[in-house]
Structure 1
Amino acid sequence: MRGNMRDEWFDVVVVGGGAAGLAGALTLARARRSVLVIDSGSPRNAPAAHVHGYLGHDGASPAELLARGRAEVAGYGGEVRPGAAVAADRLPGGEFLVHCADGRAVRAGRLLVATGLVDELPGVPGLGARWGRDVLHCPYCHGWEVRDLPLAVLATGPLSVHQAQLWRQWSERVTLLSHTWQLAGEERELLAARGIEVVEGEVTGLVVAHGGGDEGGDGGDEVDGDDGWLAGVTLAGGGTVECRALVVAPRFTARAGVLTSLGLPLTTLERDGHAIGTCVDADPATGATALPGVWVAGNVGDPMQQVAGAAAQGVRVAAAVNADLVEEETRLALRAHRRS
């Protein structure tokens, strides 16, 4: 076995301290289960200034929301511990030994893995530095903040036309940058019908301006900052296209090291024959994986979940985990009762 086996044992170890993991841990702690959350401290939405669309928490920062969640879990006796879980072993008795990067290991009766995903951005210089503020993906998370501003969509795959049509709801000034994607004639007609301009040519970089970023639009609540504001993109031919936000389609790559170490495979997500990411298959209702005793919640199993949906799924999956433990405890109690 890897690492040093610890004497610590928990009913459930939750791997991942984001919205899904903490919501699951809270539910399990309230169910009087011993719960440990191993939190790497790297939530997917960390670059964003605020969380939106989460009823009762709209406008909270991701850090603030998670701090509240950790305190709530601790208030019911759960433990949240910083660390990176890197692998797990299934022990002969059906329990699990979870290994952390620092060499520690802890035993668990059940695993709830909520490690999320990594957004792999297109290969345009400068995207990562502005990701989550004016380089965006989800209009439901950020559309209101850039409403009525000039927006550009970077075409890199089959989702790009859909993105352009969707973001058109928030602004009349949407441009599709063909970049590396070949648009079909019907797609061009659909874009033209909504007044979405198509600009040909590969995008080579971003234009970042400094100083006053207000150009008279009603939007832009969160797109200005100390490191300037997005003013446009540059093209391979030497031209520029104005935009105050750039919409991209990242590749959704599941953080699944603990799951794959247990033999659970990654599934490739496809849209129109084009790979858009990976996830780990699980029952959509309960989060149960193909390996007994292991559940998933949040983006590691469903890349399309937003914060509120991930939290709701964490609660639902935790209830399934607790029901499984109750079933096992009842079975053992019946066996003991019959022997007495």
Structure 2
Amino acid sequence: MIMKVENKTKVQFIKDSEKMRQRITEVKTTEGLQKSSNQENELWYMSILSPEDNSGKIELAEILDVPTVQVVMDNFYELAHIPMSIIDLKGKVLAGVGWQDICVKFHRIHPETCKNCIESDTKLTAGISAGESKLYKCKNKMWDAATPIMMCNEHVGNVFCGQFFFDDEPIDYEMFRSQARKYGFPEEGYIAALESVPRLSRKKLDMGMAFCEKVAQMFSQLSYSRITLARSLAKRDILLNSLQAQEDLGDRFLDNIKIQVLPYLEKLKKTSLDEVQKDLIKTTESHLDKISSPFVQKLSSRYLNLTKTELQIAVLVKEGKTSKEIAHILNSKKRVIEFHRENIRAKLGLKNKKGSLVTLLQSFS
């Protein structure tokens, strides 16, 4: 039988759910996410509720607080002047600072050199372990360094330091002039953009990469926390909805008893009945009343291991009936009833104790 859940329990679930919602809201404080459309929010919410082993399907853009990350990167660039960016595994740039004209006005504009950029950002960064970094020269002949962003043990993107030249390396101007002619770049403007590319010492690069690794770790933890919180909230919502559904089903069940059963018993009582039949109807009415009583609901919800027979006997014990009287009502034997009473005492924590079973059962009313 479906029982109602205590109001206190339901209220507590509602409070807990609200707290979880507030915690997720605190994480998603940025203006960019707050301005997302309802449809985008729903897609994000549904994506993070998928099983954990499917977490790799989540896009980095869906879990990354881009505006806040951008502020962190801007502040670091003001301090160290090291260009940085965050790029997902498809080559989509989500945040960046210190981008050079040679990239923005040339390499990322031309379809072939842009293809080189995306291929460098995706293929050349494959296989980097969490907490490690990789230094490489992109296909447009610029230095870059990357460290992965991991989420639930899945590689979802990279933090990049670049592009730059080392301060102790010569620049092959003729190679870049040839590259300008190959792709049709205005040579004078291209070389001027090349001249403005940062020159970093290896010590400064190491410092920048150490910062990138910490940032990547922070992003990973934040992403995992958001997903964990959202999944916890979803589980609570599912449980709360389940409890409400059980309560509604229980209400409908009780309404059906009142509307479809009790009226017929009343009509049956007005017919010619012998004493045995009258007693049976009286007992039936009593049991139907007990089914809808808070006592049975509370006892069932707290002690789910009570059997149906034990619940029936508990109702009669609560009314003060003796084992002999209960045996007569249930058409059983006295020793069987006493056996069940001992089981009830044990399950309710009264085994080998002097506490009154009647008193304890009455406390559930």
Please give the range of the TM-score, normalised by the shorter of the 2 chains.
Answer: under 0.3
Greater length-normalized contact order (CA 8 Å, ≥ 6 residues apart):
1
After TM superposition, the score normalised by the length of structure 2 is: 0.22
After TM superposition, the score normalised by the length of structure 1 is: 0.23
Q: Which has the larger radius of gyration?
A: 2
Q: Which has the higher strand share?
A: 1
